[in-house]
């Protein structure tokens, strides 16, 4: 028994003090979270994102709004604050100087969350995750967060890995809460019909081009129940995977991505997809995963085709005529 505890302690120490968290994986997560906010700010009108009455009331109610990016220029010049937020997020997405841009990323996401009148779950998730990443970014002295570098002290690795454990706990509890909320607060989820009502919602629904397919599927009670209960099952699995091996997490990752992509198709929540994808990358993808390299292999038939066969007659050598 004592030996087992010693082995567990040794493995935990290795995970926290030796493994390098400052890799392209966490950089990809930061870029994905930046895209989440960029989509909302870039493709939505300022008057859609912000209501003047709510905007002015929140300035009085929220202490944070004294430092809110979207209150810097006031309501009349809100478009300038929006443009500045987009520029900062583009800088974050590029991966330049995480030490300097980490705080700015959280500032933009938190400012939007406390000032916008139209919010969804992805905005809150992005704000929380970027807050948890601030200690990691402050210790990251790389020029680009895509770079591979292992010259970090044990102290920096410990802080980075500890914050990623916090992110994993956050993601795990998020899925547990989502599953429990469906089971205990909604009869539609219990009886297996929730999917039907969600995709027929007047505000959130699938695009018109999917009508021929969805009409048939939604009339199939087995399909509707399978999707409804399958959603709860997958969310419970995403909670329990916290206690599983790295191999199992890697196997579950593509299913989690497809699940959230399906939400984009059926409900149109694009920014929510990128917020969850950023969290899933930190939660399920091992930080030591090597950078994927794509090699282009020249088709074999090209090697024996002579270029001269494609040239017009005047370009051929005289002795070849």
Q: Report the predicted TM-score, pTM, of the whole model to 2 decimal places.
A: 0.87
Position of tokens 């980075």?
160
Cβ contacts of 123 within 8 Å, gap of 6 or more? 37, 40, 109, 112, 113, 116, 271, 275
Rounded to whole angstroms, the Cα distance separating 122 from 32 reads: 12
Rounded to whole angstroms, the Cα distance separating 294 from 291 reads: 10
Rounded to whole angstroms, the Cα distance separating 83 from 80 reads: 5
> Would you write out the chain's pLDDT as a tens digit for each of its 321 residues?
666 555 554 666 667 788 899 999 999 999 999 999 999 999 999 999 999 998 988 877 777 888 999 999 999 999 999 999 999 999 999 999 999 999 999 999 999 999 999 888 899 999 999 999 999 999 999 999 999 888 899 999 999 999 999 999 999 999 999 999 999 988 899 999 999 988 887 677 777 888 888 888 888 999 999 999 999 999 999 999 999 999 999 999 999 999 999 999 888 889 999 999 999 999 999 998 988 876 656 555 444 444 445 444 444 444 443
Report pLDDT for 75: 93
Report pLDDT for 321: 39
Rounded to whole angstroms, the Cα distance separating 126 from 160 reads: 18
Cβ atoms 150, 18 nearer than 8 A: no
Query: Which H or E element spans position 248?
Result: helix 246-267
Cβ contacts of 234 within 8 Å, gap of 6 or more? 255, 256, 259
* Three-class secondary structure of residue 244 per DSSP: coil
Cβ atoms 126, 133 nearer than 8 A: no
């Amino acid at each position: 028994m004592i030996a087992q505890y010693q082995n567990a302690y040794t493995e935990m120490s290795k995970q926290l003090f030796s493994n390098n968290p400052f890799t392209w994986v966490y950089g990809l997560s930061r870029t994905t979270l930046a895209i989440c906010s960029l989509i909302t700010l870039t493709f939505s009108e300022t008057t859609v994102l912000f209501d003047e009455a709510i905007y002015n009331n929140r300035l009085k109610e929220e202490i944070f709004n004294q430092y809110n990016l979207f209150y810097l220029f006031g309501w009349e010049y809100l478009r300038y604050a929006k443009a500045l937020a987009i520029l900062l997020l583009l800088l974050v997405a590029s991966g330049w100087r995480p030490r300097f841009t980490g705080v700015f990323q959280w500032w933009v996401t938190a400012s939007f969350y406390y000032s916008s009148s139209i919010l969804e779950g992805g905005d809150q998730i992005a704000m929380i995750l970027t807050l948890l990443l601030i200690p990691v970014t402050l210790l990251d002295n790389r020029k680009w967060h895509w770079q591979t570098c292992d010259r970090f002290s044990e102290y920096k690795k410990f802080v980075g890995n500890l914050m990623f454990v916090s992110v994993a706990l956050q993601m795990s509890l998020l899925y547990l809460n989502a599953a429990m909320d469906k089971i205990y607060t909604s009869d539609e989820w219990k009886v297996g019909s929730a999917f039907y009502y969600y995709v027929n919602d007047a505000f959130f629904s699938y695009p018109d081009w999917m009508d021929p397919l969805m009409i048939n599927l939604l009339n199939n009670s087995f399909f509707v129940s399978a999707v409804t209960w399958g959603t709860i099952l997958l969310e419970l699995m995403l909670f329990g995977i916290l206690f599983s091996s790295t191999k199992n997490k890697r196997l579950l990752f593509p299913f989690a991505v497809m699940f959230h992509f399906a939400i984009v198709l059926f409900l149109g929540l694009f920014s929510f997809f990128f917020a969850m994808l950023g969290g899933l990358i930190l939660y399920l993808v091992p930080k030591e995963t090597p950078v994927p390299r794509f090699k282009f292999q020249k088709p074999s038939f090209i090697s024996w085709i002579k270029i001269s066969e494609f040239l017009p007659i005047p370009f051929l050598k005289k002795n070849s005529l």
